[in-house]
Chains A and B, each alone.
Chain A
């Protein structure tokens, strides 16, 4: 198994390299250069040329690439063009954990809702709750993220006032446990909004997987051995039913990041998603490149974790 994991991690390195090349190439292919937005007709073009020369923008592409990568590896993504030339890394640092926490809340919500309901539906197919869950899934998949977010804000925060409608904290005067609870309170609506589509999908997957496993020969064997219902469900069924779910979880990382861009915007939540959208609108290339690289890494890490976890729960793939 360790061999498998090590091999899997080694594959990660060339993929990371490929990712950086793609991100870099896209930024080069995009029209204009960092000065396009600074264009001041009173400055002579030759000044820009000098600046470009000084920044190394006239060097051969591979040289530029290696310069970018080697500073990126050290956490230096250059300076933002729009945000007062602040280092990109500083801007990202502030928002990075906000997005991670939001993702965790969304994933947590997805799992605690989708898995138990999926199991219940499979064990009681065509029951009232099963039909209800099916209906919910279709709605959850059909309603776009941002629309659900707006509905949630309108009803749950404006009408009923149960949840704050935006931001991450109420004020700066809270600390400790109080602050923690306040932050969680702020993350519930965006978290649920972000996790909604995933919840709907995983509920369906879980239902069909459990249904599949319950009908399998080895479950009949387990029952024929006299195993209790609890044991049949928790030991023999769940582990098998979760194998495909775990693989999908890896991809969920990427889906969540994509969703975060929109959800954060709706809730005015200061995360990487809002930063990304702003940067694109402002053509703030250093930020766009840094975030594209980070999002790509999220997805690669998600897949890596899924593969490793997969090899832990499914003995069949360790030796293949």
Chain B
């Protein structure tokens, strides 16, 4: 999947425009795990919802292309898009407690996807749904099929969500902070399960997370997002070893390390400015420890350091 120049703006009541996603380029190759990291409010969720075209008013995808296997999803009609969602691209959300419809059984909610996209009849869908439930770790899958979401724990519901997401063997799975709402002990199991399914079904995975530990373990490539833009992109190893952008470095310093004995963890002072009033120059300039005059004048472009590492910062431009 290739996303180019994606812009998603929210048109707020008072004439302000929140540029929640502004010129994002993002590529996820077949079978690859790409992590998208960044603070709250940096635009990660809006990016992923844009890919699914699930942006609600007052938001709007203003510009860009989203190509999946050579087809620009933004040119599809609403009806054609329903054939892509859940089928070619599937998504898992942060809140398992509320992501399932409380009045239908788990089985019903898995079956309806199979019946829609795979044109299965009721019986086939049931059989397949039970297989899927077994795959994601429900030992009594036949019983679970007829159970309601409120009968399952958060972790179990997230497993059910995974079963729904992988039911049509999508080419791309987007997981938006799939474990943030879960107990720490269960987080690892869920991430492991997603990774296992990814390998088994040969899907690409776009993993949105706050957890750099997860990034370190599972990602192939990492995109760092700030203020609606990608500020750094690199293969995982290089990003951890030689991060370039001051924001990325800030994130790294906020990680506890077993190698260094530190008095206290680093923090980045301040918070992400609201998307309707970014500073005039570099969007990080209000918090950047290295900010120069130039940084307050104009926003740097994303420049390629080499074929696999790019960064958006004046510290790395030639002049």
Contact = CB atoms under 8 A, between A and B. Distances in A.
A217 B95 contact: yes
Contact of A226 (B87, B101, B104, B150): B87
A227 B98 contact: no
A222 B101 contact: yes
A224 B85 contact: yes
Nearest to B110: A225
A316 B102 contact: yes
A275 to B, nearest CB: 42
Contacts of A240: 101-103
B56 to A, nearest CB: 8
Interface stretch (B35-43, B111-119, B257-265): B111-119
Contact of A225 (B78, B86, B151): B86
B101 A228 contact: no
B86 A218 contact: no
A239 interface: yes
Contacts of B83: 226
A75 to B, nearest CB: 41
Given A239-B103, A240-B102, A315-B103, A225 B95 contact: no
B165 to A, nearest CB: 8
A26 B105 CA distance: 49
A222 to B, nearest CB: 7
B194 interface: no
Interface residues on chain A, size class? 20 to 34
A226 B98 contact: no
A273 to B, nearest CB: 37
Interface string B145-188: 00010110000000001001000000000000000000000000
Contact of A221 (B79, B84, B100, B151): B100
B103 A226 contact: no
Given A217-B93, A220-B54, A315-B150, A227 B112 contact: yes
B82 interface: yes
Contacts of B69: none
- Tell me what chain A mostly uses at the interface: helix, strand, loop, or mixed: helix
B52 interface: yes
Interface in A198-228: 216-218, 220-228
Interface residues on chain B, size class? 20 to 34
B93 A221 contact: yes
User: Which of A224, A239, A240, A319 counts the most chain B CB atoms within 10 A?
Assistant: A224
B103 A223 contact: no
Contacts of A220: 54, 93, 99
B174 to A, nearest CB: 9
B156 to A, nearest CB: 16
Contacts, number: 77
Given A315-B148, A315-B150, A316-B148, A223 B54 contact: yes
A221 B178 CA distance: 13
B129 interface: no
Given A226-B86, A227-B112, A221 B99 contact: yes
A53 interface: no
A36 B128 CA distance: 78
A22 interface: no
B90 interface: yes
B90 A224 contact: yes
Contacts of A283: none
Contacts of A243: 103
B219 interface: no
B282 interface: no
Interface string B39-67: 00000000000001010000000000000
B54 A226 contact: no
A239 B105 CA distance: 13
Nearest to A216: B98
A226 B117 contact: yes
Nearest to B79: A228
Contacts of B150: 315-316
Nearest to A224: B91
A223 B84 CA distance: 11
Contacts of B161: 221
A274 B23 CA distance: 72
B85 A223 contact: yes
A220 B95 CA distance: 11
Contacts of B84: 226
Contacts of A314: 102-103
A6 interface: no
9 contacts: A218-B99, A218-B101, A224-B54, A224-B85, A225-B86, A226-B87, A226-B116, A227-B86, A236-B101
Interface of A: 216-218, 220-229, 231, 235-236, 239-240, 243, 313-316, 319
Interface of B: 52, 54, 78-79, 82-87, 90-91, 93, 95, 98-105, 112-113, 116-117, 148, 150-151, 161, 164
The 3 lowest CB-CB distance pairs between A and B, nearest first, are A226-B86, A226-B85, A225-B86
